[in-house]
């Protein structure tokens, strides 16, 4: 295995200084009764479910790099916590972790205010427990939220499946899917769509599921996928992911199917690059960043596969999978990447001083028309 670093292309970082300076996510905030802050207007993802279903563990593992084994010592959540996720301009939202005993009929619970500004509602069901009560709470939660805000994306994480056999996983997902949709049909809520995911914090399934959730909140997703398709088709690349480096959520990928083994390889590569950079890439006084505009890595596997990582922005990395014979045209790949990165910077106007249109919520990036190879590409 070899890891190589190289200097960036000249004049390719004209807007790098407008990206956030700190490498990491915001710290956990207090409960929602605290005085409002400007971040309260950011898009929200709600984590809901019964007690001990694994909501807080998911949040800590995905966004705070906690080891799955450490989550065994987390205390049960007894109040609503807000977690401000601000890795870049468009992965910019709050996660609200709800206690399992939330009572929607409590007059002090302002569910209209909460659901009105919500982009996605994730309901976590413990697959190793009797989920009859969880299905009842799921129906109550999504039906109440849908009547307040029909635009919410409803996601169901069938969690803790690491302890189940493959056949049991499939049967559990089928049963939960059938029962949940039957309940909605009985309530005449056929238009309410639920998405189901099998998840565990002990493998990459939770990152894959959260990637799908976050992608639905990015209005520029079709543009990003289009750019990735153009890039790989002109570079001889088999698969490419646009990763958020901290959480290892992939913001976008090309149109070819996602193979879990390939996704895990790319996640492991990011870990290797960051770990090596933390040891050898910082200055003698410990200053600097483990991931910056000079970050680049090449890993050659023993099956003629090459993993190629390039920095796109302060918090995003492009990780590509290709064959050794295709990598012989590295100059062409680097030129195409230069065009790709330039297009990404044109899609997203980043920076705290960027003016926002009056009808856009804070945390939503502005859009521009992308011109690639002289051809205008319409954004979302």
pLDDT digits (tens, 9 = 90+) for 308-320: 999 998 888 999 9
Please check whether the two domains, 44-217 and 220-280+290-353, share a CATH topology. no
As a whole number of angstroms, the distance between CA 166 and CA 172 comes to: 10
Q: Domain residues of the chain, as ranges?
A: 44-217, 220-280+290-353
The correct CATH number of 44-217 out of 3.40.50.720, 3.40.640.10, 1.10.15.40, 3.40.50.300 is 3.40.50.300
pLDDT value at position 292? 80
- Residue 198 CA to residue 354 CA, distance in Å, equals 39
pLDDT single digits (tens) 329-368: 999 999 999 999 999 988 875 433 343 444 444 444 433 3
Render 91-131 in DSSP notation, one character per residue. Answer: SEEEEEE--TT--TT-TT--HHHHHHTEEEEEEEEETTS--
Give the pLDDT confidence of 48-77 residue by residue, as tens digits: 999 889 898 999 899 888 889 888 888 777
Strands 375-377 and 370-372: antiparallel
- pLDDT, tens digit (0-9, with 9 covering 90-100), for 12-34: 333 333 333 333 333 444 443 33
The CATH-assigned architecture of domain 220-280+290-353 is 2-Layer Sandwich (3.30)
Question: Under a CB-based contact definition with an 8 Å cutoff, are residues 89 and 350 in contact?
Answer: yes
Angle at 18 between CA 282 and CA 292, to 5 degrees: 20
CB atoms within 10 A of CB 102: 16
Q: How far apart are CA 370 and CA 197, in angstroms?
A: 33
37-41: list long-range contacts, CB under 8 Å, 24+ apart.
Answer: 38/362, 39/84, 39/86, 39/94, 39/362, 40/94, 41/117, 41/361, 41/362, 41/363
Query: How do residues 170-189 score in pLDDT, each as one tens digit?
Result: 999 999 999 999 999 999 99
* pLDDT class of 40 with cuts at 50, 70, 90: low
What is the C-alpha to C-alpha distance for residues 76 and 292, in angstroms, rounded to an integer?
37
Residues 101-112 have a mean pLDDT of: 73
Q: Is residue 127's pLDDT more than 90?
A: yes
**Closest listed residue to residue 234, CA positions, set 380, 373, 375, 377:** 373
Q: How far apart are CA 100 and CA 48, in angstroms?
A: 7
Q: Are strands 118-126 and 44-49 parallel, antiparallel or unpaired?
A: parallel
């Amino acid at each position: 295995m070899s890891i190589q670093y190289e200097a960036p292309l000249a004049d390719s970082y004209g807007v790098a200084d407008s990206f956030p300076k700190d490498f990491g996510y915001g710290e956990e905030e207090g409960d929602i009764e605290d005085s409002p802050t400007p971040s309260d207007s950011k898009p929200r993802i709600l984590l809901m479910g019964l007690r001990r279903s694994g909501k807080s563990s998911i949040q800590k593992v995905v966004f705070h790099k906690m080891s799955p084994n450490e989550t065994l010592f987390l205390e049960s959540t007894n109040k609503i916590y807000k977690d401000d996720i601000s890795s870049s301009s468009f992965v910019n939202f709050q996660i609200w972790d709800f206690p399992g005993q939330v009572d929607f009929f409590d007059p002090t619970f302002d569910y209209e205010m909460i659901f009105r500004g919500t982009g996605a509602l994730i309901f976590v069901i413990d697959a190793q427990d009797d989920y009859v009560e969880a299905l009842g709470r799921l129906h109550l939660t999504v039906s109440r939220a849908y009547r307040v805000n029909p635009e919410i994306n409803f996601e169901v994480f069938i969690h803790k499946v690491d302890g189940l056999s493959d056949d049991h996983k499939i049967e559990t997902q089928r049963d939960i899917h059938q029962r949940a949709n039957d309940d909605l049909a009985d309530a005449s809520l056929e238009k309410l769509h639920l998405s189901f995911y099998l998840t565990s914090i002990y493998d990459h399934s939770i990152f894959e599921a959260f990637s799908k959730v976050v992608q639905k909140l990015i209005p520029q997703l079709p543009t990003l996928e289009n750019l990735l398709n153009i890039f790989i088709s002109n570079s001889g690349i088999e698969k490419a992911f646009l990763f958020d480096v901290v959480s290892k959520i992939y913001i976008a990928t090309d149109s070819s199917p996602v193979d879990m083994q390939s996704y895990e390889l790319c996640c492991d590569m990011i870990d290797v690059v960051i770990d090596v950079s933390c040891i050898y890439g910082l200055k003698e006084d410990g200053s600097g960043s483990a991931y910056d505009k000079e970050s680049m890595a090449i890993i050659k596997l023993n099956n003629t596969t090459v993993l190629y990582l390039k920095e796109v922005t302060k918090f995003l990395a492009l990780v590509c999978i290709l064959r050794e014979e295709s990598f012989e045209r590295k100059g062409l790949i680097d030129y195409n990447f230069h065009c790709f990165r330039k297009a990404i910077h044109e899609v997203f106007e980043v920076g705290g001083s960027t003016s926002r249109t009056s009808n856009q919520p804070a945390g939503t990036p502005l859009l521009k028309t992308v011109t690639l190879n002289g051809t205008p590409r319409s954004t979302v």
